[in-house]
Amino acid sequence: MDLSTFNGEVAGLVAALIASGAIAGLLAGMFGIGGGAVLVPVLYQFLTVLGIDESVRMHISVATSLGIIVPTSIRSFLAHRKRGAVDMALWRSWIVPVPLGVVLASLVAAYVSGDQLKGIFAVIAMVVGLKMIFNRSSWKIGDDIPGNPVRAVCGMLIGFFSTLMGIGGGVMNNTFMTLYGRPIHQAVATSSGTGVLISVPGVIGLAWAGWGDPLLPPFSAGYVNLLGVALIIPITTFAAPFGVKIAHALSRRTMEIAFGLFLLSVAARFAWSLWG
């Protein structure tokens, strides 16, 4: 590759990453959800426009999303813990099961195709989207979080599926805790800690899984695009408050339905690309 071609590829990648970060930050601010569920499909679309090979496009989107979650989840976790809002007993009990699920997901990601990873994202997005649309605060399956082995299995599954989606596990952990009678504020605070347990080993695992792949764009450490991580973090931080302003003009229930519809549209878009 000559210098002019390389410079053109880098310029296109920078433009795509900036646009992805701006849109993901705006939508994340609107929906009050960590940016992973928004960033992965947005980044995937821009990588498509950029012409990144389809076999690695979804892997890059997922891994780069996790890279962006690392500093934000650590910062959020420390802030919530300082306020005493985190269920530290639950968090400590997941120090092994959640990362174990992440490791298993990294092994899966090393061998599945881009289409298979897209299919996994679509199915989980559909389930979460339907949950958001039909959610009721009265839904409960127990009065307290179960002990092991059920707790450990749930933690491992949260780590596994969150890694394959490129998210910090907030939606899944919130659902798990509130279904067992925990207040939403405690669930959100504890989810920040779950995000640390998912994103840190997830970045390491997906960097390993994609190491040396010749189809990756410049500045990639395995499937993690370091340029994307460096550019998108400040851009999403800048754009998110504008989304928050939009969100405050609407009710919480309206935003839940809107986010659910967004996830269903992403699931439908990915499904269409697989079957079309």
pLDDT tens column, 123-142: 988 988 888 788 776 677 87
Count of CB atoms situated within 10 Å of the CB of 128? 23
Who has greater pLDDT, 105 or 36?
A: 105
pLDDT of residue 193: 87
* pLDDT tens for each residue of 183-240: 877 887 888 889 889 999 999 999 999 999 999 988 899 999 998 888 888 887 777 7
Average pLDDT score over residue span 255-274 = 83
Asked if residue 141 lies in contact with residue 241, where contact means CB atoms within 8 angstroms, the answer is no
Q: What whole-number distance in Å separates Cα of residue 117 and Cα of residue 180?
A: 30
Q: Calculate mean pLDDT across residues 103-120.
A: 91
pLDDT given for residue 97 in this prediction: 96
CA distance 236 to 140: 34
pTM of the model: 0.82
Query: Domain locations in the chain?
Result: 3-275
Quote the CA–CA distance of 235 and 49 in Å, as a whole number: 20
Report which of 164, 167, 51, 56 is spatially closest to residue 114, judged by C-alpha positions.
56
Structure tokens at 196: 């640390």
- 150, 200, 236, 130: CA torsion to nearest 10: -20
